[in-house]
């Protein structure tokens, strides 16, 4: 997996990602403490609203930024987003009103909505070989999981030496360092300019690609299944540990760590597995596995007593992490195979926006239903995950399980660039390449 770090450009970009993730983790802790200082007992509602603002920014801003991104050099876009995030982190310690938190969180997440899809679309060009790209995806998944474990511990250590306001300085430093690393990386040249289209057409191009391509429609359903499980873990872990099981505060971190550990294990295994098993099998089994874990969680929730419930919960959380990683890690491969290089920024932006739209739905569901009782939350989110998994199975044709398909073009001139390497047959020109959906391939292969 770590062999891809020999690529200098990818090494710089990956290091930038890790540093920025660490800074974001520090900001999460500091923001919670800032909200408590300003709002006191209402800090939870402030953070809940801030989370909703984050999701709204992700859903609305990413497609718009992608629509105008081709007017800016890639490096300018990435570095500009990092510097905006650094500036917001620098200002956060000085806020005194709740509305100021909301405004700055929106600005911070809008910049992230610009940075993340552009960054994700860049990696397949830096690592064009599928084997290398698969390892990069697993490494990225591992970085996210390690950040979820490492950043809170780092924040706790720093808070023993300084006030939480200094954590925002650490966040700012992380984003500045990320910008410096992006500047130092040699980025691939952008693709040739596409035919002129309206801003609206550009903003919706990725979403239209998703709804037009069977396996990307399936990916939408898979995103919803993952969102149901991750919302259950993120929102209700503290309720399970503190209220349902009557355990200590430190056990909350252990439970969340079990989820991260399950995700990390599968991230380490997947590169070799995906060399032998199609993405479709791995992702669909992961989604169906989520429904099985919800069934187990229902048994744990229904039990009023028993020492077995704590290890069972840890096992369930680790299984959630494993199944979610099975779905999430190959996602980049799926988008890469479905979109032409020039369309990938729009496709990754659509995935970013639409997946967070799923979380915008499941986070409130997990919170509201969990407040009424854990059993309704497990039942409803479990049904959502099951319906989404079954829908994904139905939407993703088996003939799209592979990475390429043989097909024939009948209406192209023999010297058309797309026919390079094609073989002349009676019907036209036959060749094989990744599934695509564009003006040359209006129907699934």
Whether pLDDT at 287 is above 50: yes
Checking if the pLDDT of 434 tops 60, the result is no
Q: Are 27 and 89 in contact (CB under 8 A)?
A: yes
Range with lowest mean pLDDT among 52-61, 170-179, 329-338? 52-61
Burial level of 306, CB count in 10 A (0-12/13-18/19+)? exposed
pLDDT at 386: 97
Q: Do the first three CATH levels of 1-185 and 199-401 match, i.e. the same topology? A: yes
- Provide the token pair at 78: 């990435």
Q: What is the mean pLDDT of residues 28-40?
A: 76
- Asked which of 6-20, 79-93, 213-227, 333-347 is least confident by mean pLDDT, the reply is 333-347
- Residues 307, 309: Cα–Cα separation, whole Å: 5
The structural domains of the chain, with segments of one domain joined by +, span: 1-185, 199-401, 404-445
Cα distance between residue 407 and residue 422, in whole Å = 10
Nearest to residue 194, comparing CAs of 434, 439, 408?
439
**How confident is the prediction for the chain on average, in pLDDT?**
81
Please give the radius of gyration of the chain, using alpha carbons only, rounded to the nearest integer.
22
Residue 243 has pLDDT above 80, yes or no: yes
The predicted model gives 272-281 an average pLDDT of 87
Any idea which of 14-18, 208-212, 267-271, 343-347 has the lowest mean pLDDT? 343-347
pLDDT of res. 445: 38
Read off the pLDDT of each residue in 61-90 and give the average, rounded to a whole number: 82
Report the topology of domain 1-185: Growth Hormone; Chain: A; (1.20.1250)
User: Which helix (DSSP H) or strand (DSSP E) does residue 384 occupy?
Assistant: helix 374-395
pLDDT at 192 over 60: no
Q: What are phi and psi of 193, to 5 degrees?
A: -60, 140
State whether residue 433 is helix, strand or coil: strand
Give the C-alpha separation, 123 to 348, whole Å: 11
Q: What is the mean pLDDT of residues 329-333?
A: 87
Q: Report pLDDT for 417.
A: 60
pLDDT band at 443 (very low <50, low <70, confident <90, very high): very low
Return the H-helix or E-strand segment holding 432.
strand 429-433
Q: Are 83 and 363 in contact (CB under 8 A)?
A: no
pLDDT of residue 401: 47
pLDDT confidence tier of residue 17, bands split at 50, 70 and 90: confident
Q: What mean pLDDT comes out for the span 324-351?
A: 83
pLDDT score of 218: 93
* Better-predicted residue by pLDDT, 387 or 154: 387
Q: DSSP string spanning 300-356? A: HHH----TTHHHHHHHHHHHHHHHHHHHHTTHHHHHHHHS-GGGHHHHHHHHHHHHH
> Quick one: average pLDDT of 139-154?
73
Rounded average pLDDT over 315-328: 94
Please report which confidence band the pLDDT of residue 113 belongs to, taking 50, 70 and 90 as the band edges: confident
Task: Please report which confidence band the pLDDT of residue 26 belongs to, taking 50, 70 and 90 as the band edges.
Answer: confident
Residue 407, pLDDT score: 64
Q: From CA 53, how far away is CA 103, in angstroms rounded?
A: 9
| Class (C level, CATH) for 199-401 | mainly alpha
CA dist 379 and 301 (Å) reads 10
Question: Residue 219: is it exposed, middle or buried by C-beta count within 10 angstroms (0-12/13-18/19+)?
Answer: buried
Q: Which span out of 61-65, 316-320, 351-355 was modeled with the highest average pLDDT?
A: 316-320
- The encoded tokens of residue 321 equal 């992490």
């Amino acid at each position: 997996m770590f062999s891809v770090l020999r690529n200098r450009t990818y090494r710089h970009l990956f290091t930038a990602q890790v540093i920025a993730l660490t800074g974001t983790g520090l900001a999460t802790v500091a923001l919670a403490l800032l909200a408590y200082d300003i709002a006191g007992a209402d800090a939870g509602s402030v953070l809940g609203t801030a989370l909703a603002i984050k999701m709204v920014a992700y859903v609305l801003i990413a497609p718009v930024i992608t629509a105008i991104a081709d007017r800016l050099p890639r490096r300018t876009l990435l570095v500009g987003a990092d510097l905006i995030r650094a500036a917001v982190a620098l200002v956060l310690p000085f806020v005194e009103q709740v509305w100021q938190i909301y405004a700055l969180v929106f600005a911070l997440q809008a910049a992230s909505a610009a940075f993340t899809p552009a960054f994700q679309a860049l990696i397949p060009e830096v690592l064009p070989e599928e084997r290398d790209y698969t390892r990069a995806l697993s490494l990225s998944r591992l970085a996210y999981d390690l950040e979820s474990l490492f950043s809170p511990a780092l924040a706790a250590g720093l808070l023993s030496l300084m006030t939480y306001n200094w954590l925002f300085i650490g966040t700012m430093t992380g984003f500045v360092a990320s910008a410096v690393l992006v500047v130092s990386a040699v980025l691939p040249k952008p693709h040739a300019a596409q035919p002129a289209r309206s801003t609206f057409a550009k903003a919706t191009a990725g979403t239209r690609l998703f709804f037009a391509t069977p396996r990307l429609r399936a990916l939408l359903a898979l995103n919803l299944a993952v969102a149901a499980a991750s919302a259950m873990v993120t929102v209700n872990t503290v309720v399970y540990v503190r209220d349902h099981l009557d355990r200590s505060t430190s056990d909350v971190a252990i439970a969340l760590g079990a989820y991260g550990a399950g995700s990390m294990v599968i991230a380490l295994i997947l590169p070799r597995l995906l060399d032998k098993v199609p993405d479709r099998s791995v992702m669909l089994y992961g989604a169906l596995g989520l429904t099985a874990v919800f069934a187990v969680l229902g048994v744990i929730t229904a039990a009023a007593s028993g020492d077995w419930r704590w290890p069972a919960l840890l096992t369930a959380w680790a299984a959630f992490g494993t199944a979610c990683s099975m779905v999430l890690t190959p996602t980049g491969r799926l988008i890469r195979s479905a979109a032409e290089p020039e369309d990938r920024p729009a496709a990754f932006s659509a995935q970013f926006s639409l997946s967070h739209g799923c979380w915008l739905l499941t986070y409130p569901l997990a919170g509201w239903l969990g407040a009424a009782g854990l059993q309704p939350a497990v039942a409803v989110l479990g049904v959502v995950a099951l319906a989404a998994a079954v829908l994904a199975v139905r939407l993703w044709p088996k003939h799209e399980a592979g990475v390429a398909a043989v097909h024939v073009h009948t209406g192209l001139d023999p010297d058309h660039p797309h026919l390079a390497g094609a073989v002349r047959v009676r019907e036209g020109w036959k060749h094989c390449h990744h599934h695509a959906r564009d003006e040359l391939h209006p129907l699934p292969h």
